Chain A
Amino acid sequence: MSELERLREAFTARGAFAGENCAPAERIFDAATGALPPQEAREMLAHNLDCADCAAAWCLARELLVESGLLPAEAEPEPLPRRWQPFAIAAGLAAAAAFLLVPLARHDEPPAPVTRAPRSPALRQLSPESLPRSNFLLRWSGAPAGARYTLTVTTRDLTRIHELSGVAQPEARVPEKALAGVRADQVLVWTVEALLPDGQRLVSPAFLVRLE
């Protein structure tokens, strides 16, 4: 877990501190969309300093807005202020130059293994984009060992056709019976929710799969 994730989790831990005179939930949702006058939104935010429950509610409102497609997902690193940007650019150029020059100077050595910084796990689709009715095996990756999964399969108009909870492996087969009402070439939507050993939840994006 990154430092920022740790701070976020501590700040929005529901139940740790609850304030009084909380804003109605629907106002929080409106504020999160940017629909409220800024002054009112600022006053609501000031309240979150005394109320972790409302801070968590703001967090949830944003997640739902992104999930529903009403807000585009915005993932960005913590920003640098403008006056730092030239230094960042210079550092980037220096790093790029080093990257280009080092192989020239050390061409006789095998390339060093690349180590990437740990990233937050994300659930990814592993199964192919189309599957036969007789072996409709959905597979995914991303959650650490020990996670338990809930798989939900729906049609594109969100009619649920199959749900499976408590799945221990990152794969599940949808029985033919559940697919009985689905015609060939129809595209289905599936999502996975992972409950991690530390109690965190991960929700996948919606994946698409065509029934062959």
Chain B
Amino acid sequence: MPGDSDANGAVALAAPLSDERVEQILRVLGRAVARACPAELRAMREDLVQSALLRVLERERPGEANAARPASYLWRVAFSVVVDELRRLRRRKPVRDAEQAMDETSAAPRPDLGLAIRACLSGLSEPRRLAVTLHLQGFGSDEASRVLGWDRKRVRNLVFRGMADLRRCLAAKGLP
């Protein structure tokens, strides 16, 4: 039913589940999982799509009047399936230590830098630390403002000052 799918592929799950609807959900989940899936899970992509579909179906009771889902619903399910699988893998394969990781290819991020960033952030005031944490996770000022519940100007100032603190701290540790 094309009318149920918006431009981003989000699907409202209000009607009883038909084969066509399941197919439609699968398409959106396929796109979301493909986008979320890191290289290490690529071989499992189809399995993850099926897991995501099962989660959706478990929460949908055919014949019941299910409330329309928000647009983010299928993307949220796909995200959680991928993250859960990554966590499962991590539990099976213990975290490598920093030295071992440093021996790997030079293209890999430096774990000593990751540790140093964390050490430096822990010395910042809490507001700066939170704002910079989001900044390092790719969040812009508007997005961080929504997450933290602070106004945008405050977030911008915190990021600016926090990043300056971070750079100073890293330089003091001999890290460029």
Contact = CB atoms under 8 A, between A and B. Distances in A.
Interface in B128-176: 129-130, 133-143, 146-150, 153, 156-157, 159-161, 163, 166
A198 B39 CA distance: 12
Interface in A56-87: 57-65, 67-71, 74-76, 78-82
A64 B79 contact: yes
Interface in B27-80: 27-28, 30-32, 34-36, 38-39, 71-72, 75-76, 78-80
A41 B137 CA distance: 14
Nearest to B152: A79
A65 B87 contact: no
B114 A10 contact: yes
Interface stretch (A31-39, A93-101, A126-134, A176-184): A31-39
A57 B87 CA distance: 10
Contacts of A79: 141, 156-157, 159-160
B14 to A, nearest CB: 18
Contact of A76 (B72, B126, B140): B140
A122 B141 CA distance: 22
Chain B interface main SS type: helix
Contacts of A158: 5, 9, 27-28, 30-31
B110 interface: yes
A118 interface: no
A50 interface: yes
Contacts of B115: 17
Given A25-B79, A64-B36, A79-B160, A34 B117 contact: no
Interface residues of A, number: 70
Given A11-B136, A157-B2, A29 B38 contact: no
Interface in A1-56: 6-18, 22, 24-26, 28-34, 36-39, 41-42, 45-46, 48-50, 52-53, 55
Contacts of B121: 49
A193 B122 CA distance: 36
A37 B149 CA distance: 8
Contacts of B156: 79, 81
A173 interface: no
A201 B80 CA distance: 20
Interface string A162-179: 000000000000000000
Given A26-B76, A49-B133, A198-B107, A14 B86 contact: yes
Contact of B157 (A30, A36, A68, A82): A82
